[in-house]
């Protein structure tokens, strides 16, 4: 089973792309709707919440967890992969893994960017500086003379965009107010003439059209959920032991830490399909 963890609904965009690319596997979704948003929480709080999510998913039998939330990937993933994962692998004696969404996206952008990358995300993700760090690391690895990349130099321009998640969750994607907010947020990145833009938050693929329209044809804006799905496919091809241990019956289960009518409505709007969410009861 593959576990997908997010602070709430946003990770469903990642799951949607992964399911489309790799339909054969069993998936289990964990949305921490009781504690969303993670965007402005401390690293310690995000680590503790992420650990709880991973405990749940491993107990359910997951062999691989994708931390679909950018904020949790930025602020807790390294600690999960070192401290927590060592403990889990030691306890169970089985090989399990936890992957995030930032490294695969940075890997892809280090290849496609002509040298000026923009990043938008929650305050937590942007303040962590992780995209810049990973992008520069990945660019370092590229041998300029053997690739299409013109120069090793990569300038990264970051912009926190905290008002976007509430607009998207409220279903106000088509409102002119959202367009004005987007223009305000994207202006500095357009002024810097970024050639590519990272949507560093799980919610943003839902307004990708609006973002692309504002950024114009000189800036590529790929859907990060599709990048993550492609990289996961490659990862599974390269890790056959783990791949073999994954159940392949096409089962999907959806869990959340809080369930309300408004959540159900937003989720249906989000995925354009009716999903049967189960609420996790606190131990």
- Catalytic sites, residue numbers: 69, 201
Nearer to ligand DGL, 117 or 149 (CB): 117
Segment 84 to 113, residues that bind ligand DGL, using CB under 6 A:
none
Among positions 33, 122, 159, 196, the unique one binding ligand DGL when judged by CB under 6 A? 122
Nearer to ligand DGL, 7 or 196 (CB): 7
Bridge partner residues of 198 (DSSP): 119
* 172 φ, ψ (degrees, to nearest 5): -100, 35
Pick the stretch among 65-73, 138-146, 227-235, 246-254 that binds ligand DGL (CB under 6 A): 65-73
Segment 199 to 218, residues that bind ligand DGL, using CB under 6 A:
201-203
Own/partner long-range contacts of 275-279 (Cβ < 8 Å, ≥24 apart): 277/31, 278/253, 278/254, 279/255
- What is the closest distance, in whole angstroms, from the C-beta atom of residue 187 to ligand DGL in the complex? 22
Nearer to ligand DGL, 105 or 165 (CB): 165
- What is the closest distance, in whole angstroms, from the C-beta atom of residue 37 to ligand DGL in the complex? 3
Place of tokens 């590529």: 220
The conformation of residue 220, written as its DSSP 8-state character, comes to B
Nearer to ligand DGL, 38 or 58 (CB): 38
Residue 125, both tokens: 């993700």
14 neighbors 70 (Cβ within 8 angstroms): no
Cα three-residue angle 71-91-69, rounded to 5 degrees: 10
Binding to ligand DGL by residue 138, rule CB under 6 A?
A: no
Segment 4 to 63, residues that bind ligand DGL, using CB under 6 A:
6-8, 10, 36-39
- What is the closest distance, in whole angstroms, from the C-beta atom of residue 35 to ligand DGL in the complex? 8
Bridge partner residues of 160 (DSSP): 121
Nearer to ligand DGL, 50 or 113 (CB): 50
Write each residue from 146 to 185 as x if it is in contact with ligand DGL (CB under 6 A), else as -, in one continuous string. -------------------x--------------------
Residue 201, both tokens: 């938050």
- What is the closest distance, in whole angstroms, from the C-beta atom of residue 85 to ligand DGL in the complex? 21
Segment 249 to 268, residues that bind ligand DGL, using CB under 6 A:
none
Residue 207, both tokens: 């307004």
Nearer to ligand DGL, 64 or 126 (CB): 126
Pick the stretch among 57-65, 102-110, 198-206, 261-269 that binds ligand DGL (CB under 6 A): 198-206
Size of the site for ligand DGL (CB under 6 A): 17
Measured CA to CA, the distance from residue 2 to residue 27 in angstroms comes to 5
125 neighbors 74 (Cβ within 8 angstroms): yes
Residue 221, both tokens: 């804006």
Q: Are strands 252-256 and 64-67 parallel, antiparallel or unpaired?
A: unpaired
151 neighbors 185 (Cβ within 8 angstroms): no
Burial 196-225 (b: 16+ CB within 10 A, else e): bbbbbbbbbbbbbebbeebbeeebebbebb
Measured CA to CA, the distance from residue 44 to residue 170 in angstroms comes to 28
Chain residues in the site for ligand DGL (CB under 6 A): 6-8, 10, 36-39, 69-71, 122, 125, 165, 201-203
């Amino acid at each position: 089973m593959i576990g997908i963890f997010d602070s709430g609904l946003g990770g469903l965009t990642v799951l949607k792309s992964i399911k489309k690319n790799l339909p054969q596997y069993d998936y289990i979704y964990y949305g921490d709707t009781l504690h969303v948003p993670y965007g402005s929480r401390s690293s310690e709080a995000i680590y503790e919440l992420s650990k709880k999510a991973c405990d749940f998913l491993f107990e359910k039998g997951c062999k691989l967890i994708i931390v679909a939330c950018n904020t949790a990937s930025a602020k807790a993933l390294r600690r999960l992969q070192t401290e927590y994962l060592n403990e889990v692998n030691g306890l169970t004696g089985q090989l399990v893994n936890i992957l995030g969404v930032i490294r695969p996206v940075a890997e892809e952008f280090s290849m496609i960017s002509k040298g000026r990358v923009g990043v938008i995300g929650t305050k937590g993700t942007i303040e962590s500086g992780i995209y810049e760090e990973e992008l520069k690391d990945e660019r370092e690895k590229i041998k300029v003379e053997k690739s299409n990349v013109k120069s090793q130099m990569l300038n990264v321009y970051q912009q926190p965009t905290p008002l976007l998640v509430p607009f998207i969750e409220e279903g106000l994607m088509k409102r002119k107010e959202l367009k004005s907010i987007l223009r305000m947020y994207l202006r500095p990145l357009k002024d810097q003439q970024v050639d590519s833009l990272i949507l560093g938050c799980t919610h943003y693929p839902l307004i990708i059209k609006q973002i692309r329209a504002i950024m114009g044809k000189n800036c590529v804006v790929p859907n990060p959920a599709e990048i993550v799905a492609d990289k996961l496919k490659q990862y599974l091809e390269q890790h056959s032991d783990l791949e073999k241990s994954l159940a392949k019956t096409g089962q999907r289960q959806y869990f959340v830490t809080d369930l309300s009518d408004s959540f159900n409505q937003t989720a249906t709007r989000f995925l354009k399909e009716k999903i049967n969410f189960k609420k996790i009861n606190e131990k």
